Structure 1
């Protein structure tokens, strides 16, 4: 019996991860379950300490605990160590091994679109935790130049100093958008309802050379990044694709079974 879960604060109850993982567990003929569990901050250490005793093979970690779990882990993989954040924990005996599948999950999602990032100019919007995985993935894929734009340029400069890329402000981003072949939104807003000001800024962009637009957010009825892609004649994909590939990589670490990300995406889209 494989016991899996995703933990976070109360927002985790809306996670789509149980739908994906439980569908794939059934398809693979594996007895087990995947649950969404809200954990109070003061109980985080105790919860993690009980994983082996409670029979968990592993868990996913989402906001706000991706950094807070670090002191409780025995080992970090390369991505988690570089990013300073964990989204996947594997239970091995009494050891807890932390990993981060966001970076390779994004890379696989991008490669699946057919876009080749090497040597091509890319613009990343946002410089928070999500942007770190995106920038690391694009740096490894050889995107160049790689611009990272944020409303707080100091945050973008700190990210780029650590992971690569060139930090720019929004005024500069509006200029370099005309050169970008790839645009990735790694910031929190994607719809006019969330930020009318940002929606107007995106509508004004001159980005006719775009080939691919990716938004790591999902679930928006209106999405101004999708509108930008249509106006530029570019391909568009939202965060569900990255979520599916990230989930597939976590699943392999827990079960030893390699399942295509497309199977997880199909579960999200109700086709599983």
Structure 2
């Protein structure tokens, strides 16, 4: 686990709580450090927020490091949201049902996993006044974020949810867990689909990340779509946004969902219910 030891040493010297985010090389593209550092400063909490890059296969060692270093809380992002489960002591009810964790509270040497992604997605949909109840959704992706999306859409009483993924076995496993319909990505290019909401829950949002997925997106034949929701953010020439604009469909990226889930995470870590506006302002800075 790569870590800026000097920052940690300074933090402990001043009895500062240390929080972190764990991912692969993508950790350095995350906006979470900027958000939490800003909000910690505004609330007067003595805290530091550190990005940790972890190689695949070392996630167990990384979580043990949280205990050893007395880290107060951690964000978990791709590709580790499902892989951390065996190394946690306790799961919240929601995280257990979803089967993925994005937030860990570390207290007394115990690691408890939560999923604030799902509620953050719900809050973001509420912000744009999109009610999925009685409507149809298409979710593209099969990882930890996709699991949170499907869970919250079902909880919000979507009429139906279709999950499309590259790996047929993983797609069918996710669909079976949440009683929704599995499709392959190739199906999306070949067959029309009824979907009021399309959600990108993959890590891909630009052409240079995947020419294959870009081609599929360009070929999607969606009937009645009202909103395209890309859970990524900060991509230049976003392929989901381009698709939505060409078809006259509303588009939303993942920044608001990030802010909403960050607020829920901050409450778990600190007990402070900070107004949502503070997290949104932190994103604008």
Q: What is the TM-score of this pair, normalised by structure 2?
A: 0.84
Give the Cα separation in 1 of the matches to 2:54 and 2:211.
Answer: 34
Which residue is equivalent to 1:202? 217
- CA pair 199-52 structure 1, distance change in 2 beyond 3 A: closer
User: Are 2:265 and 1:225 equivalent residues in the alignment?
Assistant: no
| Contact preservation (8 Å) 1:136, 1:164 | no
Give the Cα separation in 1 of the matches to 2:270 and 2:151.
Answer: 26
Per-residue deviation, residues 108-140 of structure 1 (Å, max 9, x unmatched):
222222100000011111223321111111111
Give the Cα separation in 1 of the matches to 2:54 and 2:160.
Answer: 41
- CA pair 212-261 structure 1, distance change in 2 beyond 3 A: farther
- Shift, 1:60, TM fit: 1.2
Structure 2: state its 5+ residue gaps.
Answer: 1-15
| Contact preservation (8 Å) 2:192, 2:221 | no
Per-residue deviation, residues 182-202 of structure 1 (Å, max 9, x unmatched):
111112322222233433332
- Residues 207-218 of structure 1 aligned to structure 2 (within 5 Å): 207=222, 209-218=224-233
- Shift, 1:208, TM fit: 5.7
| Contact preservation (8 Å) 1:207, 1:232 | no
Count matched residues: 269
Which residue is equivalent to 2:138? 123
User: Are 2:124 and 1:109 equivalent residues in the alignment?
Assistant: yes
SS at match of 2:222: coil
Per-residue deviation, residues 52-100 of structure 1 (Å, max 9, x unmatched):
5644321112234333433332210022212332221112223221111
Give the Cα separation in 1 of the matches to 2:78 and 2:211.
Answer: 25
- Of stretches 12-21 and 42-51 in structure 1, the one that deviates more from structure 2 is 42-51
- Residues 144-159 of structure 1 aligned to structure 2 (within 5 Å): 144-159=159-174
| Contact preservation (8 Å) 1:135, 1:164 | no
Per-residue deviation, residues 156-197 of structure 1 (Å, max 9, x unmatched):
2211100121112345435443x3111111123222222334
Which residue is equivalent to 1:61? 76
- CA pair 126-43 structure 1, distance change in 2 beyond 3 A: closer
Give the Cα separation in 1 of the matches to 2:226 and 2:27.
Answer: 34
User: Are 2:195 and 1:185 equivalent residues in the alignment?
Assistant: no
Give the Cα separation in 1 of the matches to 2:221 and 2:58.
Answer: 49
Give the Cα separation in 2 of the matches to 1:14 and 1:218.
Answer: 10
Per-residue deviation, residues 226-260 of structure 1 (Å, max 9, x unmatched):
12222333221112222222211111100111234
- Shift, 1:261, TM fit: 4.1
Which residue is equivalent to 2:108? 93
Which residue is equivalent to 1:4? 19
Q: What is the TM-score of this pair, normalised by structure 1?
A: 0.87
Structure 1: state its 5+ residue gaps.
Answer: none
